[in-house]
Structures are given as C-alpha cells and as structure tokens.
Structure 1
Amino acid sequence: MRRTAVALSSVAAAGEAAPNPVTYLTDDEKMLVETVRAFSLTHVVPRSRQMDEVGKMDPVVLKEAFAAGLMGIETPADLEGGGMSFFSSILAIEELARHDPAVSVTVDVQNTLVNNIFFNFANDAQRRKYLPKLAKDTVGCFCLTEAGSGSDAFALNTKAEKKGSKWVINGSKLYITNGGWAGIFLVMATVDPSKGYKGITCFVVDSSETSGVSVVRTENKLGIRASSTAELRFENVEVSEENVIGEVGKGYKIAINILNEGRIGIGAQMLGIAQGSLDIVMPYLFQRKQFGKLIGDFQGMQMQYAECAMELHAARLMVYNASRKKQNNEMFIQDAAMAKYFASVVAEKTASRAVEWAGGVGFMKDFGLERFYRDAKIGAIYEGTSIIQLQTIAKMIKAQYDESSSPSGASS
C-alpha cells in the first residue's frame, strides 16, 4: 500500500509539469502559420483558379515561395535555410493546403522528401553543396515511381552502370511531383538487378552539371492541377561517385525511411483541404435561409458539420503527434500510416459533404469548393495508397501481439 501511495504521489508531482497538448504552438510557430497565411492570401489565392484551370503554377508563386523561405524550412541558417523544425514544415504544409493544395504539395515534397534525404543520408559535402540551392532557387524532386512499380515500389527498371569513375543512369520515372521544373533529381536506380531491392542506390543528379535528363510529358490531372507531375527520362546521364547518397545498394532504406516521413506531410495536406472546405462552406450555412431558417441551424445539418469538425480535430491530433514523434526520433511508422490514412478519409468526406451542404452553388467553380473536392482524392493514392497504409498498420499491430513479445508468464 505504501509503495502504491508513493507511486501515486510521484504521478501527481509529475502532473504538475504535464507536457503541452500536441496542438500547442510556440510563439514562433504561431508566427510561422501567420506568415504562411499572409503569403497564401497575397501570392497564391489570387492566382489559384487560373493555375488550376491551365494546370500550371504561376512562376511568381514559386519565386515568392523561395523568397519567403518556404522551400528550405528545416535547412540550417548557415546553409541559407530557415533553421526550423520538422513540425514547422508540417504546419506550413497544412496552412498552404488550406488555401491551395497544389502549392502545398510542391512545398511538401521539397521539404519532407528532398531536403530530408540530404539531412538524413547525405554526407557533409553533399549537404553544403545542394541544400543552399534547394533553399534559395532550385526545385528538387524524388524519383522513385516507374510505369511498372507503383505500390511495388522497388521493382525498378532504371539502371545505373559503373563505367570507369562514372555512374551512367538510364531509365524512366513516372508521376514525379515537381519533375517538370526540377533542377535537382534524387534518382533511385538499380546497380545490380540480380540483387533485387538490395541493388537499389540513390543518386543525386544536378541538371546544371550533367545532360541527358528530359521531361517526356507533364500529366493532366484530376486535382492538385497546378503542381507539376511529370514523366522523366534519363538517357546516359553521367554522375560521379560523389553523387551517390549514402551507400551503394542502400537506396531502398533511404526510400522507405523518407516515405514514412513524407506520409506525415501528406496528412498535413489533407488537414488543410478539410479545413479549407469548412472555411468556405460554414459562413455560407449561416447566410443562406431555407424555409425561413438558416441552413446551419437545421439539426440534420448540425449533426453533419459537428461530425466533420470532430473528425478533423482527431486527424489533426494524429498528424501532429506523428510529426512530434518523428522530430523526437521516436518510432513513428505506425503513427504516420494511421495519420495519413485517416486524414485522407477525413479530407475526402469533408470536401464532399461541403459541396453537398452548399447545394447548387457548391457545384460551381466560382464558389471554390469543387477544387478541394478534386484535390482531396490524391490523399488516398500517393506516398502509399490507403490499402498500403492499412497493410503497414496491420503488420505493426500483429508484431505487437506476436508470441515473442508476449509478457513473461503469458499463456501460449
């Protein structure tokens, strides 16, 4: 009994210094969100509809994104970046998606995939050479997917052959975000097909230093239309040994790790889409009357938007928690998969419901909701489909209940 009392006393004492909730933002983080909001309202929102219609981002938006420091959020200050945290990147991605998901994914890929590969796997010389470019004026892209390797991500046909002191890369990549305007390409290629995934290596290709990289086509998409999604061809692209990221044959580890981080970024995009949908439709519900009553005051409507708001809050908790665990170097793979899956479900549902709540006007382009509705769908596809997320979650839950991890003394 005394031990119990002491334990409870310790818990009570610890409670006096309880950690902040996962949604707590520091003053600097609040300032970042406000800065991104101002950037969006000034440079993005006035151009969003036209960019969506033509399927191309206005160069001014990219230029201003670099100027605002949004393309190197975590990059150290001495390498021309913002010197902020992974969670800061997540906040920026979410706020951008609240206004224009196509701009958000462009910034997302630059920060959570491209820059983070350099942070986590490159050597110091590579970081100092490429991170300042990526922070100041050069778009990067992550080149993994091929025509024959979607969910089976490592069934690659792109090859890298050693010729003297050079590696020569040949192959094609499909659906590459930022591919159409990238200057730096992180290319996954196999150096030995007989080794399967253990032959995959990550190479950095800088188009200012080598030739042979071409854009075959830019895709015409359902949603996130202003972002660049391209098919790329690599023809006898020569790079040196210094362009290998990490070790030869370890590219699959880089890809797996970075995709887990990237899933949190996709979750943040989905939060922004859901929030942006509510931002448009909720004021309308309390302006329009039917049968002498505001639409938003009908009980049937109240149940629906309360449910969507609740689910959005839950998704935000999941995304923020996963990002904080990643930032603290804790195991986050299951959290990232859950956050990405659930946030994508919430975004699709909220955007769809918002269109319905607005009625006929919600179906019109001028109102702005239909773009969020289209943009939401990609959340169930890229950075691992929803089925892949569920498989990942199931695998990790099974491991938790595996016999080898059973508590001592548990019956078999």
Structure 2
Amino acid sequence: MNTVLTEEERALQMIYKEYADERIRPHTLEIDKGLFSVEPLLKEMHELGFCGIVIPKEYGGLGSSYVHYVLAVEELSKASGPVAKSVSGQTNMCFPILHYGTEEQKQKYVVPWVKGEKRSAFTLTEPGAGSDAAGMQTTAELINGEFVVNGTKAFITGAREADFFQTYCQFKAPDGTKSPICLLIDVHECEGITIGRNEDLMGMRASSVAEVIFDNVHVPAENLLGQIGKGFHAAMSTLDAGRLGISAVCVGMAQDAIDQTVKYTKERVQFGKRISQFQNTQFKLAEYQTKVEAARLMVYNCASMMDDGQRVSHLSSMAKYYASDVLNEVVRGCLQLHGGYGYSKEFVIEKLYRDAKLTEIFEGTSEIQKKIIAKWMGVK
C-alpha cells in the first residue's frame, strides 16, 4: 500500500480542483433547485476524459489508475456531490460490458459512451426489490429469436437521458424455471418502454431518477450480456468500483462541509468573539477533519490495491460504510455550527445535509456493507 500521492497525481488533483471550482461550484445551488442543467457539463466531462479514466485505451478511455479515478471524483465532489455521483455512476456502467460483453458489444456501447455520444442507465432496482436484488420480478422470455421483456424498474438514475439500458431481469425458460440475465436495451430502437415520472428526491438532485416500465419490449438475442444465469455476476462486477467511487464522493463532500464551516466560523461573531475562537468549535472541527482524513486514507488504500489487482470487496465495503457514516456525522455537526443559517437553503451546508443521506442507502445500504464485512471476517 502506498497512500502518498506522487507529483503527477498531485498535479492531476489540481487540474480537477480547478475545473470543479471554475465550471461546477458556481452552479451548485442552481443544480439542486433545478435551475441549471448538468447535461452540458456531463457531456463536456466525457469529452475531457473524466468519465473514462479507468477505461482501457483501446475503447477510448485513458487507461489510468483507480487512484487517479478517486482523486478526480473527490475533487468534483467538493464542488457538487450530485455531479460527481453522476461521473462515478457513468464510469461504472462500462464495467459489466467490459467484463462480460462481446467485442461487438464493446464497440457498439462502450466506445460511443466514452466519447459522450451515448448515455447509459443501470436498471436493477424494482419497487419490491432493493437490497434483495434476487427478488426482482421483471422477466424476459425468448420468443422467435428475441427476448421479450416485461416489468417495472424503480429509482433509475439517468433514466430519461439514457440511450441504452443495462437491464437485469429473470429469464423465464419454457419449463417455467427462472435464472438472472442482463440485456442491453437500446431505448430509441425498442418499442414498449415508458419512462415514468421523476422522483422528487430529498437530495442529490442532478440527473433524473425515474421509474422505467417495460411492456412487451422486444430485444435482439445478440443483446444478451454474458450468459443466461450469469446476470448477477454482471451486476456485481460494478460494485467494488462503484462503492469506491461513492466513498470518494463522501470524502469530497465531507471536506467541503468542513471547509465551508471553517470559513463561516471565522466570519461569524457571537458574544464579542469569532465562533472559531471558541474551544467547542475548534475541538469539533478537529474531530471531523481527523475522521475525514481516516476515510480518505481508506479510499486511497482501496484504490491502490485495486490497481495492484487484488480482491477488495471487503475493503470497498469498509470504505463505503465508514466514509458515508463520517460524511453524515460531519454535515450534521457542521450545520449545527452554522446555527440558524445552516437551516437556510441559501447556504451550501443545508444542501450537503440533504445530499449526504443517500450515501448510506444506494450502492448497497450501510447494513449490507456490514453484512459483507462480517462475512469476510468469518462471523456467521
């Protein structure tokens, strides 16, 4: 493990920081209120290579390291957690196709995706199947050489903007047995797809999050990703990198909360003193910075081990669980130090407070992360 950044990595970190401060931060509150579309930004970041950092060069990516990836995500998160979440999420969409796709599928979907010419959405969650993904009810039957898909997906990020879906469903064989599969569904070529209303979410308000309904959607047989019965393997191939990315989002957001609060407490005067002069303020911020630094080191360590080709499922779960827990503690405490102003939508800390909660829920709840960690420990 080497968590000391090289000069090149520090230079890359500064590039992402400057971009985030110039192109994203001025619009942070507008994005949250739906007054500024992130789509031009996401397209721009695709073109700049932000979404292809760990994608192999032969498919248009940078072919760089996971350490490079988390540095980018962390810096973007300091300006906007929702935007960084979109970059991280879009990056993760490629992994199932890279790991299980045919060369034709990689050329058709990954290459234009990296260029920003296509967008993808990961359709796994259903109204009755969240953490229990195996309980999904969406089905696909093979009829006359095509898969016919029926079912409903819920809380699908980027559903309205997607050009193709990675849809996980139960293959229904002629004898009635079911086995999980993944299908690549071209939104603009397949009839029977309906995008439901956008969810009015508490936080992380950037891309659309909506219901997706499949009503007798005919999908070519060659759009099967991997093998019948291996659908969950494809879905799980996104998790280590996905949880690593969200951990980096948490670290960046927590650091921004601290930075915002340090600035505020140096300016706010109560009882004839700056709030920053009170010991309680100093001790609280010192505690928060220490915990954020610990979370950051966990993220960098996990990224470094992924670069070394090691199995990191337990480490990505630890990083995701701990970083999201720290983030929520930090934003809650930093809002308290803002007093009444922290409750105002004119202050970024209020938005961070709302954004933070999702990190304990999506990409596997904190409880699921603890279950994974306990299993790795041999606790049964």
Structure-2 separation of matches of 1:208 and 1:34: 39
Note if 1:211 corresponds to 2:195. no
Other structure's SS at 2:311 match: coil
Give the match for residue 240 of structure 2: 260
Give the match for residue 144 of structure 2: 164
Per the TM alignment, residue 27 of structure 1 is displaced from its structure 2 partner at its CA by 3.7
Note if 1:290 corresponds to 2:270. yes
Other structure's SS at 2:135 match: coil
Give the match for residue 349 of structure 1: 329
Structure-1 separation of matches of 2:264 and 2:334: 10
What one-letter code is carried by the residue in structure 2 that aligns with 1:53?
K
Percent identity between the aligned chains?
A: 34
Per the TM alignment, residue 270 of structure 1 is displaced from its structure 2 partner at its CA by 0.8
| TM-score of the two chains, using structure 2 as the length reference | 0.93
What one-letter code is carried by the residue in structure 2 that aligns with 1:240?
P
Aligned residues of 2:95 and 2:237 also touching (Cα < 8 A): no
Structure-2 separation of matches of 1:237 and 1:258: 25
Other structure's SS at 2:238 match: helix
Per the TM alignment, residue 233 of structure 1 is displaced from its structure 2 partner at its CA by 1.3
Other structure's SS at 1:191 match: strand
Per the TM alignment, residue 195 of structure 1 is displaced from its structure 2 partner at its CA by 5.0
What one-letter code is carried by the residue in structure 2 that aligns with 1:106?
S
Aligned residues of 2:158 and 2:208 also touching (Cα < 8 A): yes
Note if 1:130 corresponds to 2:99. no
Aligned residues of 2:38 and 2:207 also touching (Cα < 8 A): no
Other structure's SS at 1:209 match: coil
Note if 1:383 corresponds to 2:363. yes
Higher relative contact order, chain-length normalized (CA < 8 Å, sep 6+):
2
Give the match for residue 31 of structure 1: 11
Q: Which of 156, 167, 186 does residue 176 from structure 1 map onto? A: 156
Note if 1:243 corresponds to 2:223. yes
Q: How does 1:5-404 map to 2 (within 5 A)?
A: 21-22=2-3, 24-54=4-34, 57-112=37-92, 114-137=93-116, 138-192=118-172, 195=177, 199-398=179-378
What one-letter code is carried by the residue in structure 1 that aligns with 2:86?
T
Aligned residues of 1:214 and 1:233 also touching (Cα < 8 A): yes
Per the TM alignment, residue 371 of structure 1 is displaced from its structure 2 partner at its CA by 0.6
Structure-2 separation of matches of 1:382 and 1:58: 21
Per the TM alignment, residue 281 of structure 1 is displaced from its structure 2 partner at its CA by 1.0
Tell me: CA distance 1:83–1:57, structure 2 relative to 1, closer, same or farther (3 Å).
same
1:158-177 deviation line (CA, Å, top 9, x unaligned): 11111122112121110111
Aligned residues of 1:72 and 1:115 also touching (Cα < 8 A): no
Other structure's SS at 2:290 match: helix
Structure-1 separation of matches of 2:112 and 2:5: 30
Tell me: CA distance 1:377–1:362, structure 2 relative to 1, closer, same or farther (3 Å).
same
Quick check: 377-386 or 205-214, which moved more?
205-214
Other structure's SS at 2:69 match: helix
Structure with the greater alpha carbon radius of gyration: 1
Other structure's SS at 1:326 match: helix
1:68-90 deviation line (CA, Å, top 9, x unaligned): 22222222334232222233222
Structure-2 separation of matches of 1:165 and 1:366: 56
Aligned residues of 1:72 and 1:134 also touching (Cα < 8 A): no
Give the match for residue 408 of structure 1: none
Structure-2 separation of matches of 1:70 and 1:286: 35
Tell me: CA distance 1:392–1:55, structure 2 relative to 1, closer, same or farther (3 Å).
farther
Other structure's SS at 2:51 match: coil
Tell me: CA distance 1:56–1:255, structure 2 relative to 1, closer, same or farther (3 Å).
farther
Structure-1 separation of matches of 2:99 and 2:35: 33
Structure-1 separation of matches of 2:225 and 2:66: 21
What one-letter code is carried by the residue in structure 1 that aligns with 2:17?
R
Other structure's SS at 1:365 match: coil
1:121-151 deviation line (CA, Å, top 9, x unaligned): 2222211221121112222111110011011
Structure-2 separation of matches of 1:290 and 1:149: 50
Aligned residues of 1:55 and 1:227 also touching (Cα < 8 A): no
Structure-2 separation of matches of 1:45 and 1:331: 35
Per the TM alignment, residue 91 of structure 1 is displaced from its structure 2 partner at its CA by 1.9
1:299-339 deviation line (CA, Å, top 9, x unaligned): 22221111111110111111221222223221211111111
Quick check: 32-41 or 167-176, which moved more?
32-41
Quick check: 288-297 or 161-170, which moved more?
288-297
Aligned residues of 1:217 and 1:232 also touching (Cα < 8 A): no
Aligned residues of 1:74 and 1:84 also touching (Cα < 8 A): yes
Tell me: CA distance 1:327–1:195, structure 2 relative to 1, closer, same or farther (3 Å).
farther
Other structure's SS at 1:180 match: coil
What one-letter code is carried by the residue in structure 2 that aligns with 1:273?
M
Other structure's SS at 2:346 match: helix
Tell me: CA distance 1:142–1:210, structure 2 relative to 1, closer, same or farther (3 Å).
same
Aligned residues of 1:71 and 1:134 also touching (Cα < 8 A): no
| TM-score of the two chains, using structure 1 as the length reference | 0.86
What one-letter code is carried by the residue in structure 2 that aligns with 1:134?
W
Q: CA RMSD in A?
A: 1.9
Tell me: CA distance 1:77–1:314, structure 2 relative to 1, closer, same or farther (3 Å).
same
What one-letter code is carried by the residue in structure 1 that aligns with 2:102?
N
Structure 2, unaligned runs of 5 or more: none
